[in-house]
Amino acid sequence: MVTLADVARHAGVSASTVSYVLSGKRSISAPTRERIQHSIDALGYRPHAGARALASSRTDILALMMPLRTGLYMPVMMEIAMAVTTTARAHGYDVLLLTGEEGPEAVRRVEGSAIADGMIVMDVELDDPRLPCLREAERPAVLIGLPTETAGTTGTVETAGMAGTAASVDTAAPTDIAADPAGLAVDLDCVDLDFEAAGARCVDHLAGLGHTGIAVLGEPPAVYARGTGFAARTLTGLRAAADAHGVGLLHRPVDGTYAAVAAAVTRVFEERPGTTALVVQNEAAVEPLLALLRHQGRAVPEDVSVVAICPDQVAVHASVPLTAVSVPAQDMGRRAVERLVARLAGEAARGTELIAPRLTERASTGRAAGAAAPAPSPIPATEGRRGHGGR
């Protein structure tokens, strides 16, 4: 490993002179600085984080707070973490991963020790106890998630376009969201999937297929007990859309084991025998659910339609390819880093950015048994001619 003394010998100066150049504590002539920089480049010397911090008050490290809590689906968490890491490296930053359930104390530790230039915070709760410390910190922070407190701040949200088929990628248009009625400053950036809209899209899709009895297999009970933002917001969207369509909706939190899924689904069909569709927001429960339905002799989608909110790889590789709203884990991680890097470059916080949900139809949804088929849309004369060979 190349040391500071090696650089000094190569440049023909004292070690203290190299240290002064790195720290900026003393004025060094331009020719000497250039000679030292040439030696640093030639030898591939990399000053340690403390020396870099002395020179620029920066560590080139981002702290990623990813508490490993009960009920979380780790593949999604790790996919976000990998996206954060690779994007950070592309911008010249390393990532310090903090996995403890320390809450505000983790924020205070990062702030007090100056071990990172900024923070990315995951597993955000509606009333997240870390928010006051994040607001008081000198270092900027970006949340992957949306707490209640920031839901009304001025910013930009991407809202899903409603035109097009369910299998298509939704268009997204920037829209200003309302100013915070409490007058809170826009001092935190939040990036997340629009989970409320995602829940609504699931119900919209199923209602459009004639389903009037829908049950939701949600995250494990511990996730709701903590007030985890994404789960609560999804449920809000599901219920609002069910009310708008006049369909029945039953929600059951569930652990991802076969036994837990079997108990929950059995109760659903006992309580609501007219249930013809299931929405799953629990990646670990997907395969147990599909196995259970096969065991019960319920065909998907002929007897029961299933829609999931999950990453594409879970939906595509399920034993029945699932119609699903994609959880864009990589996009969320990338956008969070880009927001934080912009803050470190001097940009002001921009508030909340929600990624428009994208629902893709696959083999797991179909028309409800006995539901009338939708009336065909009238075809304009020009399109009728095109169907006979016109271009």
Residue 219 sits at the vertex; the CA angle it makes with 170 and 74, to the nearest 5 degrees, is 85
SS3 of residue 275 by DSSP: coil
Beta-strand (E) ranges in the chain?
Answer: 61-65, 94-98, 118-121, 141-144, 156-160, 172-176, 189-193, 213-218, 248-253, 277-280, 305-310, 323-326, 352-355, 359-360
Cis peptide before 301 (omega within 30 of 0): yes
Question: Which residue(s) pair with 248 in the sheet?
Answer: 213
Contact by Cβ (8 Å): 276, 301: no
- Single out the residue of 150, 131, 61 nearest to residue 340, CA to CA: 61
With a CB cutoff of 8 Å and minimum separation 6, the contacts of 296 are: none
What is the identity of the amino acid at 332? M
Contact by Cβ (8 Å): 120, 145: no
Contact by Cβ (8 Å): 202, 309: yes
Phi, psi dihedrals of residue 174, rounded to the nearest 5°: -65, 135
Cα 301 to chain centroid distance, Å, stands at 29
Q: Are strands 359-360 and 323-326 parallel, antiparallel or unpaired?
A: antiparallel
CB half-sphere exposure, 225, CA atoms < 13 A = 9
Task: Write the pLDDT tens digit of every residue in 237-259.
Answer: 999 999 999 999 999 999 999 99
Contact by Cβ (8 Å): 155, 177: yes
Walk along the chain (391 residues) and give the pLDDT tens digit of each residue.
Answer: 777 778 889 999 987 788 777 766 567 888 998 999 999 989 988 765 544 544 456 889 999 999 887 777 888 999 999 999 999 999 999 999 998 878 899 899 888 888 999 999 999 999 999 999 998 888 899 999 999 975 444 344 454 433 333 333 333 333 333 333 333 335 689 999 999 999 999 999 999 999 999 999 999 999 999 999 999 999 999 999 999 999 999 999 999 999 999 999 999 999 999 999 999 999 999 999 999 999 999 999 999 999 999 999 999 999 999 999 999 999 999 999 999 999 988 888 889 999 999 999 999 999 998 776 665 545 444 333 333 333 3
d(CA 64, CA 89): 13
SS3 of residue 141 by DSSP: strand
Task: Write the pLDDT tens digit of every residue in 105-144.
Answer: 989 988 888 899 999 999 999 999 999 999 888 889 999 9
Would the pTM count as exceeding 0.85?
no
